[in-house]
Amino acid sequence: MAKASAPIGELRHRIVLQTLSNATDAQGGAVTTWSDTVTIWGKVEPAKSYERFFANRLEYQRSHVCYIRHREDVTTSMRISFDSRLFQIKGVRRPDERKFFLILDLEESQAS
């Protein structure tokens, strides 16, 4: 189980919050891109990792937990870029319902 908060001094990782944006290209088709919203300090740490055999192939799944200072604009439709890796935000928690920190439940994803 993750800790309820992280001391400010432990927020030593530079992470980038990214949002998905939709646009149309020159031929009228839809183009989806991820754009950087803000670069902030946080703490990213592994939570669990496992592998399974599914549909005749081996799949690896890794999950992480990220601690950041409280922000009102963080949602599960965003992702985090950290250390040239991408993490989809699967959950946003406020410890003790106080507005000091957010705990983000992350799942590592492939580049898209």
Give the residue carrying structure tokens 């959950």: 91
**Who's near 20: CB < 8 A, 6+ residues apart?**
32, 33, 34, 77, 78, 79
Q: How far is CA 84 from CA 26, 44, 52, 108, in A?
A: 30, 13, 25, 11
Residues 85 and 35: their CA atoms lie apart, in Å, by 15
- The string of pLDDT tens digits covering residues 60-95 is 777 899 999 999 999 999 999 999 999 999 999 998
Please say if the pLDDT value at position 55 is more than 50.
yes
Q: 78: which DSSP letter?
A: -
The model's confidence at residue 112, banded by pLDDT at 50, 70 and 90, is very low
Please say if the pLDDT value at position 23 is more than 70.
yes
Q: How far is CA 109 from CA 21, 82, 85, in A?
A: 18, 12, 8
Domains in the chain (CATH in brackets) are: 10-109 (2.40.10.270)
Strand, helix or coil at 106?
A: strand
